[in-house]
């Protein structure tokens, strides 16, 4: 069967309700652990079906936004997901309070119960109205940023259409593009401040109602973080500031020298080479053919994986009329199928889909046999290890995609993984300070942001006065939508760097460890996954320093004359 033939049937909510009630009832009256295990296995089939139909509907709705059938099915899910979430909440409570919990833990592992515990902490009926307000504010933020109509280059453009001008090789264009984009944010300054202020306050109110001191611990629980806290994260940020920021600064200095720019400004930071960014040398069919070749040479497992994706038509890659924007990787549990959605546009991002998104897909393909949906994916910081490491495992074949631009790709890929980390950490510390001090005024928030930028991104010099005030964070949607999520990308990166190093030392061993990590899916917590794979913990002193030095060594030995 190909993806097109995967049957969609709208979930029958009345039947689902009965199934949940029956199982919860069995849980309460069970005389043995086996009875509960049977009941849980029964409901997992129902859960798996609901999740599969939801994902199938969402993917088909994204592929063709003009298809009326999936549009109305999408509305069905939007309306009914909260009802389903309520059944899930009841089921979680039954599992958590089971008199046979020890037996269930033996059968399904501790992580399921750790996740349930974190999740139960995040909800009480008293907060429903506040949650609705939080959702409304999130939607307002998305709408506000989507409303941008920027007059530029004789056209009216939205924020993402302004993207290419930010990487123009013409410095004047970059400068005026930055000014035009920030003009939009300046016009809407009061609105952004107001939305953020309300978000901080409603989240703080929710946290207090749930018995937390402030939103920070709740934010961590929402992300399913079961084995680390904000003190450990603070120690990681300290390492980044001390051991990695100087390396990032060096990379920026080398770059501006290469570009021949005397007094680099913020709008110069997005370009890497005088000759432009590396470009893939072909269209979709060309790139997929190369990816197929690469994954067959990489390992037996990746070869099977890429054949499965191609044979079942689980890749929708090209931009098309009526197709939604963006890119993602989904999973359809009943068909044990990952799905990759993207919008190829001829840039380096096309190859990233075939390495990074394919890394996510390969992981979930490797853990597809778990019966419990919770175990298909790990928490976010662990998810990104698989994708970011795959970007590195792909290096020996990357010339197939980039040909004469290969050196530029290798250098800028690795350099970019380092320069990104201080920014990610800056975003994270900002949020901790905001939720520790929810009564801060908008101008105080901006001053905090600018101060943090100076510490973590000392090379960032603004010409634009509105940015100098401390407003760049308006552009970082995670700060508004999913608090404390952003640092996950940097934590994963530090782990992926370790696979980059291990792959040089011994490819067979590095690959074996990576594959086993993928097979674990979400059955373990972040730190337990690191332990399982022998990866060094980013929260522990010394981890960041070792990586920063190895990367710097590699970049220093790179022949810069090859990359102009």
- Is the dihedral angle over the CA atoms 519, 525, 530, 533 positive or is it negative? negative
| 387 touching Zn ion, by CB under 5 A | yes
CB of 367 to Zn ion, least distance (A): 16
Q: How far apart are CA 522 and CA 517, in angstroms?
A: 10
Q: Minimum distance between the CB of residue 321 and Zn ion, rounded to whole angstroms?
A: 27
Judged by CB under 5 A, the stretch of 110-118, 122-130, 386-394, 454-462 that binds Zn ion is 386-394
Whether 333 contacts 373, CB under 8 Å: yes
Of 216, 268, 182, which is closest to residue 467 (Cα–Cα)?
Answer: 182
Tokens of 223: 């992300």
By CB under 5 A, which span of 213-221, 252-260, 279-287, 384-392 interacts with Zn ion? 384-392
The contact mask relative to Zn ion for 341-380 (x = CB under 5 A, - = no) is ----------------------------------------
Could you tell me what percentage of the chain is helix, strand and coil, using 3-state DSSP and rounding each to the nearest 5? 70, 5, 25
Query: Which one, 162 or 364, has the nearer CB to Zn ion?
Result: 364
Window contacting Zn ion (CB under 5 A); options: 31-39, 285-293, 383-391, 466-474: 383-391
* Least spacing, CB of residue 59 vs Zn ion, in Å: 17
Size of the site for Zn ion (CB under 5 A): 1
Work out how close the CB of 390 gets to Zn ion at its nearest, in angstroms, rounded to a whole number.
Answer: 10
Stretch that binds Zn ion, among 162-170, 382-390, 406-414, 429-437 (CB under 5 A): 382-390
Q: Which is nearer to Zn ion, 308 or 328 (CB)?
A: 328
> Is residue 431 a contact point for Zn ion (CB under 5 A)?
no
- C-alpha separations of 179 from 27, 156, 261, 472, 549 in Å: 61, 15, 19, 12, 36
**Measured from the CB atom, is 40 or 341 closer to Zn ion?**
341
Considering only CA atoms, which of 236, 239, 271 is closest in space to residue 252? 271
Identify residues 488-507 at the interface with Zn ion (CB under 5 A). none
Secondary structure (3-state) at 44 = helix
Q: Which stretch binds Zn ion (CB under 5 A): 310-318, 385-393, 452-460, 510-518?
A: 385-393
| Residue 111 engages Zn ion in binding (rule: CB under 5 A) | no
Closest approach, Cβ 381 to Zn ion, in A, equals 11
**58 vs 239, which CB is nearer to Zn ion?**
58
- Strands 315-318 vs 337-344: parallel, antiparallel or unpaired: parallel
- Least CB distance to Zn ion at residue 554 (A): 23
- Name the H helices within 64-170: 68-96, 101-108, 110-120, 128-146, 163-166
Closer Cβ to Zn ion, 58 or 387, answer by number: 387
Residue 173 CB, nearest approach to Zn ion (Å): 30
Residue 387 vs 431, nearer CB to Zn ion: 387
Q: For Zn ion, give the closer residue by CB, 355 or 387.
A: 387
For 277: left if phi > 0, alpha if psi spans -120 to 50, otherwise beta; the answer is: beta
425: closest CA among 550, 216, 239? 239
Smallest CA-to-CA distance from 386 within 286, 325, 305, 332 is with: 305
Q: Which residue's CB comes closest to Zn ion? A: 387
Long-range contacts of 297-300 (CB under 8 A, 24+ apart): 297/397, 298/393, 298/394, 298/397, 298/511, 299/511, 299/515
Q: Which two tokens stand for residue 155?
A: 């056209």
Nearest CA to 276 out of 370, 379, 169, 368 is that of 169
Chain-centroid distance of CA 548 in Å reads: 22
- CB of residue 392 vs Zn ion: minimum separation in angstroms? 14
Identify which range of 56-64, 174-182, 387-395, 505-513 contacts Zn ion by CB under 5 A: 387-395
Q: Where are the alpha helices (DSSP H) in 380-405?
A: 380-393, 399-402
Closer CB to Zn ion, residue 192 or residue 377?
A: 377
Minimum distance, C-beta of residue 342 to Zn ion, in the bound complex (Å): 12
Q: How far is the CB of 63 from Zn ion (least distance, A)?
A: 20
User: Smaller CB distance to Zn ion: residue 291 or 555?
Assistant: 291
Phi, psi of 255 (to 5 degrees): -65, -45
Angle at alpha carbon of residue 26, lines to 128 and 93, rounded to 5°: 30
Interface with Zn ion, residue 525, by CB under 5 A: no
Between the CA of residue 311 and those of 2, 15, 60, 163, what are the distances in Å?
A: 7, 34, 18, 35
For Zn ion, the closer CB: 364 or 452: 364
Residue 387 or 412: the one with the smaller Cβ distance to Zn ion is 387
Cβ of residue 387: shortest distance to Zn ion, in angstroms?
Answer: 4
State how far the Cα of 259 lies from the Cα of 275, in Å rounded to an integer.
9
For residue 489, the minimal CB distance to Zn ion (Å) is 8
Q: Which residues bind Zn ion (CB under 5 A)?
A: 387
């Amino acid at each position: 069967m190909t993806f097109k033939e995967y049957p969609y049937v709208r979930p029958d909510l009345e039947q689902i309700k009965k199934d949940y009630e029956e199982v919860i009832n069995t849980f309460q009256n069970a005389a043995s652990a086996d009875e509960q295990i049977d009941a849980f296995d029964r409901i997992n089939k129902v859960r798996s079906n609901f999740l599969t139909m939801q994902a199938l509907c969402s993917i088909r709705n994204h592929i063709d936004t003009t298809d009326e059938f999936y549009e109305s099915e999408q509305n069905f899910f939007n309306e009914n997901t909260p009802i389903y979430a309520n059944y899930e909440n009841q089921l979680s409570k039954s599992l958590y309070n089971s008199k046979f919990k020890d037996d269930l833990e033996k059968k399904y592992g501790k992580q399921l119960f750790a996740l349930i515990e974190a999740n139960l902490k995040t909800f009480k009926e008293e907060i429903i109205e506040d949650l609705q307000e939080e959702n409304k504010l999130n939607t307002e933020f998305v709408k506000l940023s989507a409303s941008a109509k920027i007059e530029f280059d004789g056209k009216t453009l939205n924020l993402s259409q302004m993207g290419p001008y930010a990487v123009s090789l013409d410095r004047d264009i970059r400068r005026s593009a930055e000014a035009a984009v920030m003009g939009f944010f300046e016009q809407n300054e009061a609105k952004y401040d107001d939305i953020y202020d309300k978000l901080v306050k409603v989240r703080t109110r929710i946290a207090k109602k749930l018995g937390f001191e402030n939103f920070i611990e709740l934010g961590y629980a929402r992300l399913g973080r079961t084995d680390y806290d904000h003190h450990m994260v603070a120690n990681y940020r300290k390492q980044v500031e001390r051991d990695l920021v100087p390396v990032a600064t060096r990379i920026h200095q080398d770059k501006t020298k290469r570009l021949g720019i005397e007094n680099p400004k913020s709008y110069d930071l997005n370009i890497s080479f005088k000759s432009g960014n590396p470009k893939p040398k072909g269209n979709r069919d060309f790139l997929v053919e190369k990816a197929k070749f690469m994954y067959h040479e990489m390992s037996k497992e990746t070869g099977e994986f890429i054949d499965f994706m191609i044979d079942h038509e689980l890749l929708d890659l090209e931009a098309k009329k009526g197709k939604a924007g963006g890119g993602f990787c989904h999973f359809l549990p009943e068909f044990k199928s990952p799905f990759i959605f993207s919008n190829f546009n001829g840039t380096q991002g096309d190859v990233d889909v075939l390495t990074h998104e394919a890394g996510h897909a390969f992981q979930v393909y490797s853990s597809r046999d778990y019966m419990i949906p919770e175990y298909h994916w790990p928490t976010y910081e662990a998810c990104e290890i698989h994708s970011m490491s795959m970007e590195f495992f792909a290096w020996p074949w990357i010339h197939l995609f980039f040909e004469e631009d290969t050196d530029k790709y290798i250098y800028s890929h690795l350099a970019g993984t380092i320069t990104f980390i201080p920014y990610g950490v800056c975003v994270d510390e900002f949020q901790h300070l905001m939720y520790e001090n929810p009564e801060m005024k908008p101008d105080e928030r901006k001053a905090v942001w600018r101060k943090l930028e100076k510490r973590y991104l000392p090379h960032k010099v603004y010409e634009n006065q509105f940015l100098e005030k401390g407003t760049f964070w308006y552009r970082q949607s995670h700060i508004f939508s999913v608090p404390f999520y952003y640092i996950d990308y940097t934590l994963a990166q530090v782990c992926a760097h370790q696979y980059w190093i291990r792959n040089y030392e011994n490819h067979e061993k590095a690959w074996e460890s990576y594959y086993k990590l993928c097979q674990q899916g979400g059955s373990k917590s972040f730190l337990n996954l690191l332990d399982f794979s022998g990866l060094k913990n980013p929260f522990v002193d010394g981890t960041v320093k070792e990586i920063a030095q190895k990367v710097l060594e590699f970049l220093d030995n790179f022949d810069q004359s090859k990359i102009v």
